[in-house]
Amino acid sequence: MFDFAKTLGLIRGGLFQPEATWRQFLDSQPSFQQTFFLLALPLIVLNVVLGTLFSSLFGGYTSIPGQSFFTTLIYAIVMSCFNFAFTTAVFTALAGVFGGKSDWQRGFAAISLATIPAIAGTIIGSLIPFIGWLISFAGFIMSLVFTYRILHLALDIPDGKRPFHFVISLVVLLVVYAIFSMMMGFNMAARYAAEYEDSDEGFFSSSSSGFMSHLERQGELMEAASKDRYEAPSDGKVSTAQMKALVRTMEKVQQRFEREEQRFEKLAEEMENKEEASLSDIGKVFNGVGNVVSIANSEMEIVKTSDGNWAEHEWVKEQLRIALLQQDGSEAIEHNYQLYQQYEEQLSDFF
């Protein structure tokens, strides 16, 4: 049944430590009922209720013609449950065709875990006027990537057939949903593309202004980074100074991730002994999820706030990637590979 602390732990892990969380949850062999009440249903309700609430507050709410707010809410929850089940059915059925396991329970667990970024993006995006759909879209793309990665773990799809299984499953889903949308005469994607009006009223309004100021800052950072230029050395060799700068940056990125993880752990501990969550608790969870947006841009922010050159930073990383792939073949590659080996312990998690 529902356990707030466990649900929060899965959401936190699904965002910050996805692979470890996937393996731990799948290794526990969860039944359909366990996954549904522990993860899928809370995600669906959180998505529908908060998404609808924020959309209605900020001007993006779309209801079913002739139906009340409550009826629209119930309809959205029921349809979301159907989407989870049908998506799972397609991916698991085709997994058997491509040499994997048609294990519906593990498939349902995998889809539920992979959906976490999309739902987080949808909730956050519903708070942001005009450009919120970009955050929703980013969460959706991340969930697609997660789905591709986790299905291999859950359904044992052979490596050589994973791309074909994934693409064909998506095509089947797109065709079915397109036909369904036309038959129902209701655009299921309308709320993802809606434009939002700015508002300072209502629950979590302070979070909205916080998001807007954060997005403005991130926009300024990205604009500044796009103007950086770097003339690479003709010999293609990464210097020791550049390597040390990269190590410092990536260590700070890791520390940022760890700080956010500790915040979620602290919140989970606070919730552990509570029988039910208050509105204040939900607000804390929401604000914690909102931090994921800034974490995604941590690397650029750390480089630019230390007066670094983003173009140079990216060039160094690219040379190291090439060196790791090739290891030899030219003097520059051999030099860069040997240099990487000296700092492998600090950088191995990032390459």
Domain final residue pick, 193, 214, 238? 193
Distance of alpha carbon 310 from alpha carbon 300, whole angstroms:
7
Same domain, 30 and 90: yes
Q: Quick one: DSSP state of residue 240? A: H
Angle at 227 between CA 222 and CA 231, to 5 degrees: 125
Same domain, 143 and 273: no
Same domain, 264 and 132: no
Same domain, 302 and 245: yes
Residue 327 lies in a domain: yes
Least confident of 5-9, 66-70, 267-271, 316-320: 66-70
Same domain, 157 and 68: yes
Do the beta carbons of residue 92 and residue 104 sit within 8 Å? Answer: yes
Same domain, 19 and 148: yes
- Residue 291 pLDDT level (bands cut at 50, 70, 90): low
Same domain, 33 and 182: yes
Domain final residue pick, 175, 193, 211? 193
Q: Quick one: DSSP state of residue 126? A: T
Say yes or no to pLDDT of 170 above 70. Answer: yes
- The more confidently predicted of residues 33 and 263 is 33
Selection from 185, 13, 165, 18 nearest residue 93 by Cα? 165
Helices and strands: H and E segment counts in the chain: 17, 0
Same domain, 189 and 233: no
Residue 199 lies in a domain: no
Say yes or no to pLDDT of 205 above 60. Answer: no
Residue 54 lies in a domain: yes
Domain final residue pick, 193, 214, 249? 193
Count the residues in the chain. Answer: 351
Residue 39 lies in a domain: yes
Distance of alpha carbon 142 from alpha carbon 163, whole angstroms:
16
Same domain, 188 and 244: no
Distance of alpha carbon 234 from alpha carbon 282, whole angstroms:
55
Q: What is the rounded average pLDDT of the residues 271-276?
A: 54
* Domain of 256, in residue numbers: 227-350
Residue 299 lies in a domain: yes
Residue 145 lies in a domain: yes
Selection from 200, 211, 215 nearest residue 58 by Cα? 200
Say yes or no to pLDDT of 156 above 90. Answer: no
- Residue 208 pLDDT level (bands cut at 50, 70, 90): very low
Do the beta carbons of residue 123 and residue 47 sit within 8 Å? Answer: yes
Distance of alpha carbon 350 from alpha carbon 348, whole angstroms:
5
Q: Quick one: DSSP state of residue 63? A: P
Tokens standing for 261?
């993880």
Say yes or no to pLDDT of 12 above 50. Answer: yes
The predicted structure's pLDDT at residue 70: 64
Do the beta carbons of residue 327 and residue 351 sit within 8 Å? Answer: no
Residue 209 lies in a domain: no
| Angle at which helices 4-16 and 18-27 cross, to 10° | 130
Selection from 152, 148, 150, 151 nearest residue 167 by Cα? 148
Say yes or no to pLDDT of 343 above 50. Answer: yes
The predicted structure's pLDDT at residue 55: 54
Same domain, 179 and 126: yes
The residue type found at 193 is A
The number of distinct structural domains making up the chain is 2
Distance of alpha carbon 198 from alpha carbon 209, whole angstroms:
9
Tokens standing for 52?
């609808």
Tokens standing for 54?
């924020």
Q: Report helix, strand or coil for 306.
A: coil
DSSP string, 154-203: HH---GGGHHHHHHHHHHHHHHHHHHHHHHHT--TTHHHH--------ST
Residue 198 lies in a domain: no
Same domain, 187 and 273: no
Task: Measure the N-to-C terminal CA separation of the chain; round to a whole number of Å.
Answer: 39
b/e map of 86-120 (b: 16 or more CB within 10 Å)? ebbebbbebbeebebeebbbbbbbbbbbbbbbbbb
> Which sign, positive or negative, has the C-alpha torsion 251, 316, 298, 311?
positive
b/e map of 282-310 (b: 16 or more CB within 10 Å)? eebbbbbbbbbbbbebbbbbbbbeeebbb
